[in-house]
Structure 1
Amino acid sequence: MGKSAHSKSAIVIGSGFAGLSGAICLAAEGYDVTIIEKNSQTGGRARMLEASGFRFDMGPSWYWMPEVIQQFFKRFGRSLDDYFHLQRLDPSYQVIFSGEDALSVPADYEALKKLFESIEPGSGTQLDAFLREARYKYESGMQHFAYKPGQSLTEFIDPKVFRSLFRMDMLTSFSKHVRKYFSHPRLLQILEFPVLFLGAEPAKIPALYSMMNYADMRLGTWYPQGGMHCLVTALTSLAQEMGVDLLLDTEVFKLNVQNKKVKHVHTTRGCFSADIIIAAADYHHVDRCLLSPQHSSYSDHYWETRKMAPSCLLYYVGVNKKLPRLQHHNLFFESDFSEHAACIYNTRSWPEDPLFYLCCPSKTDRTVAPPGMENLFFLIPTAPGLPDNATIRNHYFDMLIKRTADFCGEDLSSNIVFRQSYAHNNFVEDYHAFKGNAYGLANTLKQTAVLKPSIRSKRVNNLFFAGQLTVPGPGVPPAIISGQVTAGYIIKHYNKRVYESVI
Structure 2
Amino acid sequence: MKKVIIIGAGVAGLSAAIRLKTLGFDVEIYEKNEKVGGRMFSIEERGFKFDVGPTIVMMPDFYKEVFSFSGVNPDDYIKMVQVDPLNVIHFQDGTSVRVSSNLPKLMSELEQFGMKETDGYLAYLADVYERYAIVKETFLDKSYRKPREFFNPKTLHSVLKLRTLNSAYSSISKFVKDEKLRQILSFQTLYIGVSPFSGPSIYTIIPMIELLYGVWYIQGGMYQMAKAMERRFIEMGGKIRLNSPVDEILTLSGKVTGVLVNNKPIYSDIVLCNADFPWALNNLIKDDNIKGKYVPKKLDKMDYAASSFVIYLGLKKKYKTSVHAIRFAKNFKQNIDELDKDILPDDPSFYMYSPSQIDSSVAPDNKELIYVLVPVPNMKSGQFEWDFGMTESYKDKIIDLIEKIPGFEDIKANIEVLKIYTPKTYGYKFNLEHGATFGLKPTLLQSVYFRPQPKFKTIENLYFTGSSTHPGAGVPIVMAGAKLAVNEILKDHTTHE
Give the TM-score band, short-chain normalised.
over 0.9
Matched, 1:249 2:243: yes
**For residues 194-232 of structure 1, what are the alpha-carbon distances to aligned partners after superposition, in whole Å with 9 as ceiling and x for unaligned?**
112444432322222221121111111110010001111
The residue that corresponds to 1:390 in the other structure is 388
- Once residues 263 and 58 of structure 2 are traced to their aligned partners in structure 1, the CA distance between those partners, rounded to angstroms, is 37
Matched, 1:300 2:296: yes
Cα distance 1:163–1:256, how it changes in 2: closer, same or farther (>3 A)?
Answer: closer
Counterpart AA for 1:483: A
Counterpart AA for 1:73: F
Alpha-carbon deviation of 1:286? 1.8
Matched, 1:38 2:32: yes
Moved more, 146-155 or 221-230: 146-155
Assess if the C-alpha contact under 8 Å between 1:312 and 1:379 holds in 2.
yes
Q: Matched residue of 2:487: which SS?
A: helix
The residue that corresponds to 2:465 in the other structure is 466
Matched, 1:310 2:306: yes
The residue that corresponds to 1:328 in the other structure is 323
Matched, 1:76 2:90: no
Assess if the C-alpha contact under 8 Å between 2:313 and 2:417 holds in 1.
yes
- Once residues 210 and 85 of structure 1 are traced to their aligned partners in structure 2, the CA distance between those partners, rounded to angstroms, is 28
- Once residues 308 and 416 of structure 1 are traced to their aligned partners in structure 2, the CA distance between those partners, rounded to angstroms, is 34
Normalization by structure 2: what TM-score?
0.94
Assess if the C-alpha contact under 8 Å between 1:113 and 1:123 holds in 2.
no
Assess if the C-alpha contact under 8 Å between 2:192 and 2:474 holds in 1.
no
Cα distance 1:257–1:42, how it changes in 2: closer, same or farther (>3 A)?
Answer: same
Matched, 1:101 2:95: yes
Alpha-carbon deviation of 1:161? 5.0
Normalization by structure 1: what TM-score?
0.93
Matched, 1:209 2:208: no
Moved more, 281-290 or 429-438: 281-290
Could you tell me which runs of 5 or more consecutive residues in structure 2 were left unpaired when the two chains were aligned.
none
Could you tell me which runs of 5 or more consecutive residues in structure 1 were left unpaired when the two chains were aligned.
1-6, 498-503
Assess if the C-alpha contact under 8 Å between 1:114 and 1:124 holds in 2.
no
Alpha-carbon deviation of 1:290? 1.3
- Once residues 54 and 12 of structure 1 are traced to their aligned partners in structure 2, the CA distance between those partners, rounded to angstroms, is 31
- Once residues 215 and 38 of structure 1 are traced to their aligned partners in structure 2, the CA distance between those partners, rounded to angstroms, is 34
Counterpart AA for 1:405: E
- What is the percentage of aligned positions where both structures have the same residue? 28
**For residues 70-118 of structure 1, what are the alpha-carbon distances to aligned partners after superposition, in whole Å with 9 as ceiling and x for unaligned?**
3333222333311122111111110111373222112302321332221
Alpha-carbon deviation of 1:160? 6.5
- Once residues 263 and 239 of structure 2 are traced to their aligned partners in structure 1, the CA distance between those partners, rounded to angstroms, is 15
Moved more, 31-40 or 392-401: 392-401
Counterpart AA for 1:399: K
- Once residues 436 and 168 of structure 1 are traced to their aligned partners in structure 2, the CA distance between those partners, rounded to angstroms, is 31
The residue that corresponds to 1:341 in the other structure is 336
Assess if the C-alpha contact under 8 Å between 2:91 and 2:327 holds in 1.
yes
Q: Matched residue of 2:309: which SS?
A: strand
Moved more, 144-153 or 127-136: 144-153
Alpha-carbon deviation of 1:380? 0.6
- Once residues 173 and 16 of structure 1 are traced to their aligned partners in structure 2, the CA distance between those partners, rounded to angstroms, is 31
- Runs of 4+ in structure 1 displaced over 4 angstroms? 156-163
The residue that corresponds to 2:404 in the other structure is 406
Cα distance 1:348–1:155, how it changes in 2: closer, same or farther (>3 A)?
Answer: same
Assess if the C-alpha contact under 8 Å between 2:257 and 2:270 holds in 1.
no
Q: Matched residue of 1:406: which SS?
A: coil
- Once residues 204 and 106 of structure 2 are traced to their aligned partners in structure 1, the CA distance between those partners, rounded to angstroms, is 17
Q: Matched residue of 1:167: which SS?
A: helix
- Once residues 55 and 202 of structure 1 are traced to their aligned partners in structure 2, the CA distance between those partners, rounded to angstroms, is 32
Assess if the C-alpha contact under 8 Å between 2:43 and 2:51 holds in 1.
yes
Cα distance 1:243–1:445, how it changes in 2: closer, same or farther (>3 A)?
Answer: same
Alpha-carbon deviation of 1:29? 1.4
- Once residues 166 and 435 of structure 1 are traced to their aligned partners in structure 2, the CA distance between those partners, rounded to angstroms, is 33
- Once residues 486 and 302 of structure 2 are traced to their aligned partners in structure 1, the CA distance between those partners, rounded to angstroms, is 25
Alpha-carbon deviation of 1:296? 2.3
The residue that corresponds to 2:422 in the other structure is 423
Q: Matched residue of 1:419: which SS?
A: strand
The residue that corresponds to 1:372 in the other structure is 366
Counterpart AA for 1:211: I
Counterpart AA for 2:291: S
The residue that corresponds to 1:500 in the other structure is none
The size of the alignment, in residue pairs, is: 489
Matched, 1:188 2:179: no
Counterpart AA for 2:223: H
Q: Which of 123, 133, 136 is 1:139 aligned to?
A: 133
Assess if the C-alpha contact under 8 Å between 1:173 and 1:206 holds in 2.
yes
Alpha-carbon deviation of 1:403? 2.2
Matched, 1:477 2:476: yes
Counterpart AA for 2:472: G
Q: Matched residue of 2:55: which SS?
A: coil
Q: Matched residue of 1:71: which SS?
A: helix
Query: RMSD over aligned Cα, in angstroms?
Result: 1.9
Counterpart AA for 1:78: V
- Once residues 178 and 412 of structure 1 are traced to their aligned partners in structure 2, the CA distance between those partners, rounded to angstroms, is 35
Matched, 1:289 2:283: yes
Moved more, 40-49 or 486-495: 486-495
The residue that corresponds to 2:15 in the other structure is 21
Counterpart mapping for 1:119-138 below 5 A: 119-138=113-132
Counterpart AA for 2:390: I
Counterpart AA for 1:427: Y
